[in-house]
Amino acid sequence: MAMNKIELDTPALIVDIDKLKHNIRDMADFAANQGIQLRPHAKTHKTPEIAALQLGAGAVGLTVAKLSEARDPGGLSAGGREQTPPPD
């Protein structure tokens, strides 16, 4: 049963899943072709499902801005965590 967008509780994240997967794959491919490890920033989505797609496509981790996000109460990392200090 389809839901009308007016019925959604807000705030709600609405994405075109095919475009999302395409963009995640494009970025992962770009990083791989450049020989760099991808750590996308999670602040744009803050959802475990999208984090899992990014990690599944080859991201080696996620970037977060706050310590509370790194502690990961929502399960964004979908696995192990690595803390990397900012560059000098």
User: Would you say residue 20 lies in a domain?
Assistant: no
- Asked if residue 84 belongs to a domain, the reply is no
Q: What string of DSSP letters covers 2-46?
A: ---GGGS-SS-----HHHHHHHHHHHHHHHHHHT-----BGGGT-
Mean residue pLDDT of the chain comes to 82
- Position 87 scores a pLDDT of 56
Structural domains of the chain, count: 1
In a domain, 34, yes or no: no
On whether residue 64 sits in a domain, the answer given is yes
Does residue 88 lie in a domain region? no
Structure tokens at 35: 């020989």
Q: The domain containing residue 55 runs over which residues? A: 40-78
Q: Is residue 56 part of a domain?
A: yes
Give the mean pLDDT of 18-27: 97
Residue 46 lies in a domain: yes
Distance CA 4, CA 83 (A): 41
pLDDT digits (tens, 9 = 90+) for 70-80: 776 455 654 45
pLDDT of residue 73: 47
Chain-centre distance for alpha carbon 80: 15
Question: What is the pLDDT averaged over residues 20-32?
Answer: 97
Whether 44 is covered by a domain: the verdict is: yes
